[in-house]
């Protein structure tokens, strides 16, 4: 996310330089403004795609962590069930109250 923000700052500096160039030629102002607006829109689309990609990567990583956590939890439950079964086979009674 930090890299994306750094890139946005660089892109805005480039756009700012383009805008400064416009001020020097008022006769071509409309043409240059349209060009800059197109550049801004293209940058916006690029940044939106990058942000969307980053969000999807984060969601995928979180999903993988949740799946891993559930698998671990499932294994612990299984191990507890096995321990309870072994204790019951040995005739031990479990006191699960405090």
pLDDT tens-digit readout, 29-72: 677 778 888 999 999 999 999 999 999 999 999 999 999 999 99
pLDDT for 72: 96
pLDDT for 93: 64
Place of tokens 């109250």: 97
pLDDT for 15: 80
Which pair of tokens denotes residue 67?
């799946």
CA separation for the pair 32, 38 (Å, rounded): 10
CA separation for the pair 47, 6 (Å, rounded): 11
pLDDT for 26: 58
pLDDT for 23: 63
pLDDT higher than threshold 60 for residue 98: no
Mean pLDDT estimate for the chain: 84
pLDDT for 12: 80
């Amino acid at each position: 996310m930090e890299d994306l923000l750094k890139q946005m700052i660089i892109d805005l500096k480039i756009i700012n330089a383009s805008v400064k160039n416009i001020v020097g030629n008022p006769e071509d102002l409309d043409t240059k403004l349209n060009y800059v607006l197109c550049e801004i829109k293209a940058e916006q689309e690029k940044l939106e795609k990058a942000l969307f990609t980053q969000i999807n990567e984060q969601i995928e990583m979180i999903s993988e962590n949740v799946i891993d956590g559930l698998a671990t939890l499932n294994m612990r439950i299984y191990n507890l069930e096995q321990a309870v079964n072994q204790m019951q086979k040995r005739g031990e009674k479990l006191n699960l109250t405090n």
